[in-house]
């Protein structure tokens, strides 16, 4: 991959949800083990560290009020997909998370978003959609239905490329791929079907390919804003390669939240072309 030119930091607007009620009370992905338990206070400290990092980097952070009984609501990325100020809502695959969809959509409407869509098809927001300059990459295989890709494309007015996930550890697209810029990506090939790997190679021949070791600590559940990249502290090889590309890497400890299958990106929903922040 060619070394990118330095880009000026651009302030982003993120929506987050404090893990006030974080717990593992059920298992809906291979990471979750209700018998193992969690340290909620540690999870809150790690979440606060991520939020405070965004603020130090000059970004804006809005917060949605957590709801008792929805322990996974901390994973705000799953709550919607926001492109050009349009909000494509979430419809969760599991009964345990179903109430999160209306809760997030209600937040957006109260925040002044006028173009919102309650989806007909199962989709889990930015968990399975990655927005680039000219295209939206979208995954199916474990959570989001392929029909939701078409629904999002019609509503957002952006072309959507469907990819197939095949490794249950990487049940959302944002666990296996992230945008390095509007035209560059990093991904773990083993998470995708052979056909999808061919699509990615054709679209992004210079993509950064991550190792299984870095993917297995959710290193690809990363957040990129300009040259700044927030990445799991354990993904050391990935961090080194990003630094070689001239990026500024910000390692974060997210191991407590990772017990539920989430990392920095899972906790972060990007609001693109938004109304005034609330």
Catalytic residues: 172, 266
CA angle 140, 137, 109 (to 5 degrees): 90
In sequence order, what DSSP letters do the residues of 96-126 get, joined into one string?
Answer: TTTTHHHHHHHHHHHTT---EE--SS-B-GG
Rounded CA-CA distance 36/177 in Å is 28
Answer positive or negative: Cα dihedral of 157, 159, 164, 170. Answer: negative
Rounded CA-CA distance 72/213 in Å is 25
The residues near 233 (Cβ < 8 Å, ≥ 6 apart) are 251, 252, 253, 254
Is the distance from CB of 214 to CB of 237 less than 8 angstroms? yes
Rounded CA-CA distance 2/73 in Å is 38
Rounded CA-CA distance 155/184 in Å is 24
């Amino acid at each position: 991959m060619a070394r990118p030119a330095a880009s000026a930091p651009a302030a982003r607007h993120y929506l987050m949800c404090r893990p006030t009620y974080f717990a593992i009370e059920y298992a809906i992905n291979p990471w979750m083990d209700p018998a193992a338990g969690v340290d909620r206070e540690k999870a809150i400290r790690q979440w606060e560290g991520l939020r405070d990092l965004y603020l130090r980097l000059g970004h804006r952070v809005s917060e949605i009020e957590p709801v008792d009984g929805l322990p996974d609501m901390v994973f705000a990325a799953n709550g919607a997909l926001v492109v050009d100020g349009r909000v494509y809502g979430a419809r969760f695959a599991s009964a345990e998370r179903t109430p999160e969809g209306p809760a997030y959509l209600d937040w957006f409407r109260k925040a002044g978003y006028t173009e919102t869509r309650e989806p007909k098809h199962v989709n889990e927001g930015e968990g399975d959609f990655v927005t680039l300059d000219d295209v939206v990459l979208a995954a199916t295989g474990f959570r989001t239905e392929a029909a939701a890709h078409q629904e999002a494309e019609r509503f957002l007015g952006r072309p959507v490329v469907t990819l197939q996930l095949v490794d249950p550890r990487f049940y959302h697209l944002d666990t296996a791929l992230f945008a390095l810029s509007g035209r560059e990506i990093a991904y773990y090939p083993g998470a995708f079907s052979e056909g999808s790997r061919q699509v990615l190679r054709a679209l992004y021949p210079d993509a950064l390919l991550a190792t299984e070791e870095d993917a297995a600590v959710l290193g690809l559940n990363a957040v990129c804003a300009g040259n700044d990249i927030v990445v799991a502290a354990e993904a050391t090889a990935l961090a080194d390669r990003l630094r070689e590309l001239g990026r500024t890497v910000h390692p974060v400890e997210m191991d407590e939240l990772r017990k539920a299958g989430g990392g920095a990106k899972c906790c972060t929903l990007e609001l693109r072309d938004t109304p005034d922040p609330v």
